[in-house]
């Protein structure tokens, strides 16, 4: 069931605990580990799931092995991100590995993405744009709450509507990034 919670000021601290554990598991395989998604935007209501992005040089079997050994659940059916309209459609530029938290631990989605691929930049740019534009963040929250109200039991419908809405924000975030010289 999809539920949008009010912003929780503990989310950044919870991310830091997850991040610390992931650094220990992956060491030099991780170039960076970032808090992404709505829980990374102060004041933004979200699903109570911490989204984490691990940036790597290559999606090696060793990365998957280390995370699975540490108890993370690998989602083999989710191998690519949604490609926004107007972006290069080469699926390999949007490839990823997806894991969820070990059993009994704080709910988290762990996205492993390649350094400099558009999906790796998308997560960081989107987060930073919403941090810099509180009205856009509040609008996103309103949309997600309404989607959850209407489609709480239908994740497919929720994301079929949410993804194109995020594409609109992506266009604005692209312009903002060019204008500000944004870097992750």
Specify the pTM.
0.96
**Predicted pLDDT at 162:** 94
Cβ atoms of 22 and 33 within 8 Å: the answer is yes
Give the per-residue pLDDT at 87. Answer: 84
Supply the range of the domain harboring residue 64. 11-180
User: Could you tell me if residue 150 is inside a domain?
Assistant: yes
- Helices 61-69 and 11-26: crossing angle, nearest 10°? 120
Residue 126 lies in a domain: yes
In a domain? residue 6: no
Angstrom distance (rounded) from CA 78 to CA 163: 15
pLDDT of residue 90: 82
How many secondary structure helices (H) and strands (E) does the chain include?
A: 5, 5
Instruction: List the CATH number of the domain containing 133.
Output: 3.30.460.10
Per-residue pLDDT of the chain (184 residues; tens, 9 = 90+): 999 999 999 999 999 999 999 999 999 999 999 999 999 999 999 999 999 999 999 999 999 999 999 999 999 999 999 999 888 768 889 999 999 999 999 999 999 999 999 999 999 999 999 999 999 999 999 999 999 999 999 999 999 999 999 999 999 999 999 999 999 8
Report helix, strand or coil for 53. Answer: strand
CA neighbor of 1 nearest in space, from 147, 181, 184 = 147
Structurally, how many domains does the chain consist of?
1
- Residue 4 domain-assigned (yes or no): no
Distance in angstroms (rounded) separating the CA atoms of residues 32 and 53: 8
pLDDT of amino acid 29: 98
Rounded-to-integer distance, Cα 112 and Cα 52, Å: 8
């Amino acid at each position: 069931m999809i539920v949008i919670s009010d912003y929780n000021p503990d989310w950044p601290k919870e991310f830091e605990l997850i991040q610390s554990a992931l650094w220990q598991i992956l060491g030099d395989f991780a170039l960076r580990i970032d808090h992404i998604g709505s829980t990374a935007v102060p004041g933004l209501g979200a699903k109570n799931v911490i989204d984490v992005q691990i940036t790597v040089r290559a999606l090696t079997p060793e990365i998957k092995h280390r995370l699975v050994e540490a108890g993370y659940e690998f989602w083999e059916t989710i191998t690519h991100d949604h490609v926004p309209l107007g972006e290069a459609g080469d699926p390999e530029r949007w490839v990823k590995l997806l894991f969820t938290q070990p059993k009994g631990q704080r709910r988290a989605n762990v996205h492993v993405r390649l350094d400099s691929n558009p999906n790796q930049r998308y997560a960081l740019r989107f987060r930073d744009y919403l941090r810099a534009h509180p009205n856009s963040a509040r609008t996103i929250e309103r949309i997600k709450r309404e989607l959850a109200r209407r489609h709480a039991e239908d994740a497919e419908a929720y994301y079929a509507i949410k993804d194109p809405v995020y594409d609109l924000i992506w266009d604005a975030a692209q312009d903002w990034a060019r204008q500000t010289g944004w870097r992750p």
